[in-house]
Amino acid sequence: GILQHPDGTVLKQLQPPPRGPREQEFYNKVYDSDCCDSILLELREYLPKYFGVWSPPTAPNDTYLKLEDVTRKFNKPCIMDVKIGQKSYDPYASAEKIQQQVSKYPLMEEIGFLVLGMRVYHVSSDSYETQNQHYGRSLTKETVKDGISKFFHNGYCLRKDAIAASIQKIEKILEWFEGQKQLNFYASSLLFVYEGSCQSTTVRLSDVTLAEKRGVPKGLLPGGDILEYNNNIHVINSTENGKIEASVSKGLSKFYALHKKAYSKRHHSQLSLKVETLEKDSVWKSSGCITQEHLNGNVIPQLEKVFCHMPAEIKENASVEVRMIDFAHVFPSNTKDEGYIYGLKNLITVLQNILDN
The one-letter code for the residue type at 36 is C
Say if residue 231 is exposed, middle or buried (CB neighbours under 10 Å; 0-12, 13-18, 19+): middle
Domains in the chain: boundaries: 1-69, 70-198+317-356
| C-alpha–C-alpha distance, residues 56 and 66, integer Å | 12
Instruction: Give me the mean pLDDT over the 161-177 stretch.
Output: 98
327: nearest Cα among 192, 188, 176, 177: 188
- Helices 338-356, 160-178: crossing angle, 10 deg rounding: 160
* 61-115 pLDDT, tens digit each: 999 999 999 999 999 999 999 999 999 999 999 999 999 999 999 999 999 999 9
pLDDT recorded at residue 1 = 78
Inform me whether the pLDDT recorded for 326 exceeds 70: yes
* 53-71 pLDDT, tens digit each: 999 999 999 999 999 999 9
Instruction: Give me the mean pLDDT over the 215-219 stretch.
Output: 39
* 226-278 pLDDT, tens digit each: 333 333 333 333 333 334 344 444 444 444 444 444 443 333 333 333 323 33
Residue pair 299/210 in contact (Cβ under 8 Å)? The answer is yes
Inform me whether the pLDDT recorded for 31 exceeds 70: yes
Assign domain 70-198+317-356 to its CATH superfamily: Inositol polyphosphate kinase (3.30.470.160)
pLDDT recorded at residue 87 = 96
pLDDT recorded at residue 296 = 41
pLDDT recorded at residue 198 = 79
